[in-house]
Structure 1
Amino acid sequence: MTDADLREELVRAARAVKQRGLSHGTTGNVSVRAGDSIIITPTACDLATVRPEELAAVSLDGEPLTDAVPSKEAYLHAAVFRNRPEASAIVHTHSLHATAVACLAELDVQDALPALTAYYAMKVEALPVIDYCAPGDRRLADLAGSAARRHATVLLRNHGPVIASPSVATAVDVAEEIEQTAKLFLLLQGRPSAPLDDVERRRLFEATTARERKTR
């Protein structure tokens, strides 16, 4: 894809994030890998209205390459891309229910959400929790980058989910699946639930991953 194509694709994804209710105000950020650099939404932008020419570019170290000011999470995006070479896109949202889960005191930090549905199991292998750091803090980037070596999805404590994917459209879909499962999880609080067992979850995820690889 050309730089212009990547920018158009990123803008479509950014608008989808907003249209699906995964971002409010000027929260959330989206990026795509562009060779040895990253195209990313600018700081304090409304994902519903951002234009291709307003997007920023940063190096794989997170350093700005254009006059446009990148999202404060540019270093986080860069760290994830460096540690997850198969990823071509990253979506970070502050979606309501996923962020609510990230604020719970009692949380399984190895995997924040159970596989309540087959559709979640198909898209999310695990959702480990990253310790709280202020938005934009380099320590947060380091923690997310380290986790990205093993996981495509993480949940930032008191903040929201980060999804790395081979395509930006898939990353948006996974972000939406995490949000819907977080909503189910909160609705079921205090009630017995019956999530999928580990064997079925693994089977569904591996089957889906194998199908997706064949279509790339």
Structure 2
Amino acid sequence: MTATLSEATKARDRICAVGKSIFDRGLTFGSTGNISVRLSDGSMLMTPTNASLGALDPARLSRFDADGTFLDGDKPTKESFLHMCMYCQRPHSNAVVHLHSTHSVAVSVLAEVDPADVLPPLTAYYVMRVGRLPLIPYFAPGDEKLARAVEEQAGDNHAVLLANHGPVVAGGSLEEAQYATEELEETAKLFLMLQGHKTRPLTDDQADALRKR
């Protein structure tokens, strides 16, 4: 099945709108971050390299076939493999958002966090939208070892945090991936604000009940 022109056009417009919203609210900056959408035929649209999410051109997005081969559009981001890894391991995910958002990156640099689940369950919405958040060890951007490390976690987790880098979040739709990424960033902000204070996160039973929902 080939994606229709209408489907592709809507996806291009949505990527640009979401990118501008994220940029305008300071969740990304410069030319950092990237967004992708997987269409019904498995092909993918992705923000290109050296492009500001605040000033995207729908016609210039990078396009890949279902096997990850670059087809047309502007030169792809070197982080395209992060999106491919998530799609490969998550067949029901149709969008991926990767940001260098400040508070999430700050948490990814902290020494004493649980690498199996970086952030505690501070709120119900964090648990429902993000769930568990494993920390991926540091690798240089573009390193193939980073791809393998993300693949190892992507099957069981739709969100991961790259050490000294930022979050990668998949969702069933672009809005779902966007909202989960934003929830992650706000929870990272809360986590940093609460450093040095006694906290009362959700209990294991409370968090598990939310995950089952």
The two structures have a TM-score, normalised by structure 2, of 0.92
Letter in structure 2 aligned against 1:32: V
Q: Corresponding residue for 1:74?
A: 80
2:60–2:73 contact (8 Å) kept in structure 1: no
- Match of residue 10 from structure 2: 5
Aligned to 2:163: 157
3-state SS, counterpart of residue 91 of structure 2: coil
RMSD value over aligned CA atoms?
Answer: 1.4
- AA paired with 2:145? R
Q: Does 1:65 align with 2:71?
A: yes
**In 1: Cα distance, 2:108 partner to 2:66 partner:** 27
Partner of 1:212: none
- Residue 176 of structure 1: which of 168, 172, 182 is its match? 182
Q: In the TM superposition, what whole-angstrom CA distance separates every residue of 1:14-35 from its partner, at most 9, and x where no partner exists?
A: 1222123210111000000022
Q: 1:108 aligns with which of 114, 118, 127?
A: 114
Stretches of structure 2 that go unaligned for 5 or more consecutive residues are 1-5
Aligned length: 207
The whole-number CA distance in structure 1 between the counterparts of 2:117 and 2:108 is 11
Query: Are the counterparts in 2 of residues 120 and 178 from structure 1 also a CA contact under 8 Å?
Result: yes
**Is contact 1:92–1:161 with CA below 8 Å preserved after alignment?**
yes
Conservation of the 8 A alpha-carbon contact between 1:26 and 1:44? yes
Q: 1:29 to 1:20 in 2, by over 3 A?
A: same
5+ residue gaps, structure 1: 208-216
Q: Which amino acid aligns with 2:57?
A: R
Tell me what 1:144 maps to.
Answer: 150
Select the residue among 135, 141, 149 that pairs with 2:141. Answer: 135
Does structure 2 retain, via aligned residues, the 8 Å contact 1:86–1:166? yes
Partner Cα distance (1:11, 1:206) in 2: 33
Q: Offset of 1:61 from its aligned partner?
A: 4.6
The separation in 2 between residues aligned to 1:142 and 1:7, in whole angstroms, is 28
**d(CA) in 2 for partners of 1:137, 1:11:** 27
Instruction: Write the distance in 1 (CA, Å) between the matches of 2:183 and 2:73.
Output: 35
Shift of residue 191 of structure 1?
1.6
TM-score scaled by length of structure 1: 0.91
d(CA) in 1 for partners of 2:96 and 2:147? 13
Give aligned-pair identity as a percent.
43
